[in-house]
Structures are given as C-alpha cells and as structure tokens.
Amino acid sequence: MDEGRGQYLVMVPWLAFGHLIPFFHLSVALAKAGFKISFLSTPKNIQRLPKPPDDLTALITFVELPLPHVDGLQEGAEATVDLDIPNHDYLKMAFDLLRDPFRRFITVHSPDWIIHDMLNNWTAEIAQELGLPFIFYSVYSAAVLCFLGILEPENGLTAKWPDSPRALMCPPPWIRLPSKLARLPHEANRAYRALYLPNESGLSDIQRFQQGNRGCQAIAIRTCPEYEREYLDVLNKYLKPIIPVGLLPPEKREAAVEGEWVEIFRWLDEKAARSMVFVGFGSECKLSRNAIYEIAHGLELSNLDFLWALRKPKWASDDGSDALPPGFESRTTGRGVVNMGWAPQMEILAHHAIGGSLFHSGWGSLIETVQYGHALVV
C-alpha cells in the first residue's frame, strides 16, 4: 500500500459513530494519497456522516447496504447511538446479515485491499475465500489492544485472552512496562461479561475480534509512536505488522454555528482565554441520574466557568426540567451554560475561552481535545 495511485480500497466499519467517523477520517487521508475508496455502511449512517472535501469526492464513494430486519431491533436503528447497550446484540445480528450483500459487492468490484473493523469476522472470512488482502483498522489506542488481550499470539509467545474477571483486575502479564491500570471488581465483572462471554449474536466480541484478524496482512492503529511508543512495542512483539496511521484529527474548520449556539458563542467570546471547561460525554455515553447530578455538583464546587453539552437522558421528563439537580442552573448563572441537544463540539474546542475538557475518556474525543492543547479531565 506504499503507492496510492490506482489502488482501490473498501472500508467496512462497525455500526457505531465512534468507528464510522475514524474510518471516514482514514478514508480522507488515504484519498489525499491517491487511493480510491468505497465506504460501505447503511443508508441512515451514511446520511449522518460528514461530507468529504470537495477535491476528494471523486475518490470517495459511499455505498449503501440496507440493514436487514432482526426481531428485537428497534425500527429505524442503524447504529449503536440509536439503542441502549442491551440492544447492541441485535444490531450485531443484523450486521451479520450484511454478509451476502458484502460478498456480492466484493465479487463484482474486486478491490485491491479491504480495511475492516473489530467485529467484522465475516468480512475477514470472505476476503480469505476470495483471496483478497485485508487489514484490521483499530479505532482504539494501542494501549487498549494490549489490555484487551493479544489478538493472535505468534513467535511462540504464550500470551492469551483473560480467562476470568479477576484477570482484568491487574495488568496482564505480557505488559512488562510499569502500569497500575486495573479494574475494580464490579468493572471487571461487567467488562468480562460484555467482551469475553458469548452474546445474543452467538459469539463474544472477543471471538469476533480474533476471527476478524486471523489471516490479516497488517493491523493499522489510530495512534502514533510519540503518544504511546511503549504499547506499540508490546504489540510489535506479538503481532503481525503494526501500522500506526497517526491520530487523524478532524480537519480544523471555521465556526459555522446557528440557532441558539449563536448566542452561546457570543457569551463565550466575552470569557478570558483558556478560562473555561467544556463538558461533553458524547452521544454514546448514557449517564444515570446519579452520575449527572454528581458531575453537576462537582462543577458547582469547582467555581470554574463551564459549557456543558448534555444529551437529554431518557429518564428525564419531556422538557428535561429534571435532568439537572434542582436550582443548579440558577446557582451557576453567568458562569455556566447547559445545552441539551446537538453541540458543535469541534467549534467549541477551537474557541479561545476553552482551556480544558471533561469527558468520558473516548479515544476520538481525546484526539479532538489534544489537538487544541487543552487539559484533559477524564
């Protein structure tokens, strides 16, 4: 893949915007290098993606694969953001039914490479059947791959998947560098159940992960040696060629806000440089009442000016009046604004008044925040 001119790639991300967006950014980067891209996803997801730069539209084609119906999957849901976590398994079942449409597309178009995601065990199987080279692209950091478990041990080394929740409560034995990372018992139990035990789709996420990487030509990771060289070194000891593709931050753009955000940005303009914290837990992170109230309490005690982009919780009333502690907004008038709904996150992070960001530790949000040099509160 050293020479992009004339090479044709097919991108197949998992149906979550924490995956779709990094695959889109990688597509843009590869198109700039001269690769021709077909980006496969469902119609609704493609409609919600950003538009490629005008000079790259001839190189990036979006291909719609309608999502088949599965009993238990909410009508109109095509991405994890549309669902509560317990229903993600039904989305995986529907995703698996894209196998035949994918096979037909690949057979007709015969790409030079397939770049696929962590849950795409069937795209790997089809690529191998047709003799097409494929690459796993991790939208997670190298550190996450290390702590999840080595994907496909090679070179006679004996690293393996965690075999119990207890194994997640200390650094895995193959990580020799100093680390205190560990999960508390309730976190370990939840993570082990979610990742390592079979779900309604018939496979565990880790089984999909492993099958999807068996036979791949390389593993590309959205990271760079400057950020996590030690973890890349761990992966390089165990795995196939590792390609750090860079952090691929979204391209900076001029603020183009509208509606109520015009007034909010005028308010931001009056604040001192780097004096405020932006609070945003993304669209996928569903916060409980207790969690939101604790965050609000902490913001109130901090005495910092803040802008909070809060997705209205499902447990809140229709008008959202009970989504925050009683009296919180009146007590923080003048130094804090809470907006419920869509937020122009990149424009907010780019504003001179923002100096730090409180968020859910998502890798994509971290990359967006780091590019502006903000303090991370995670």
What residues are labeled active site? 19, 117
Pairwise CA distance, residues 125 & 12, whole Å: 13
Residue type at position 364: G
**Lookup: tokens for 85:** 């976590």
Q: How far apart are CA 239 and CA 141, in angstroms?
A: 15
| DSSP string of 55-111, one letter each residue | GGTTTEEEEE-PPPP-TTSPTT--SGGGS-GGGHHHHHHHHHTTHHHHHHHHHHH--
- Please classify residue 47 by burial: count the beta carbons closer than 10 Å to its beta carbon, then call 0-12 exposed, 13-18 middle and 19+ buried: exposed
Rounded CA gap, 277 and 280, in Å?
Answer: 10
**In the numeric block, which tokens belong to residue 111?**
């790409």
H or E segment to which residue 277 belongs: strand 276-280
Q: What is the C-alpha to C-alpha distance for residues 257 and 305, in angstroms, rounded to an integer?
A: 21
Q: Which amino acid belongs to residue 80?
A: T
Helix (H) or strand (E) holding 11: strand 8-12
Phi first, then psi, for residue 40 (nearest 5°) are -100, 130
